[in-house]
Copies of this chain bind each other. A is one copy, B any other.
């Protein structure tokens, strides 16, 4: 099931813009203080780094990702998610726009 609406307490109004606009996100806080973000990745192949562990949940479009350089590309579609360890990197490639929620920690 896709998370169409997310209950939150506040949004940081200024967007995060990465990779020259290929990724745009807005930071969120939930009522119990958790940090999340919602965003999009436009068609591109990108390498992201994590600080905290992350779970990327697809809410529209699709992406392919791989957690290790040279590893298999796996597909993530609406209702699916994938988890990334903290302090690491992952590759993502997008052919159609990928809409996501990023859950931290």
Chain A residues proximal to chain B, CB less than 8 Å: 2-15, 17, 21, 24, 26, 28, 38-40, 42, 59-60, 97, 99, 101
Contacts and interface: CB of A to CB of B under 8 A. Distances in A.
A5 B9 CA distance: 10
| Secondary structure call for the A interface | strand
A40 B39 CA distance: 12
15 contacts: A4-B13, A4-B14, A5-B10, A5-B12, A7-B9, A7-B10, A8-B9, A8-B11, A11-B11, A13-B59, A15-B38, A15-B97, A21-B42, A21-B97, A26-B38
Contacts of A14: 4, 59-60, 99
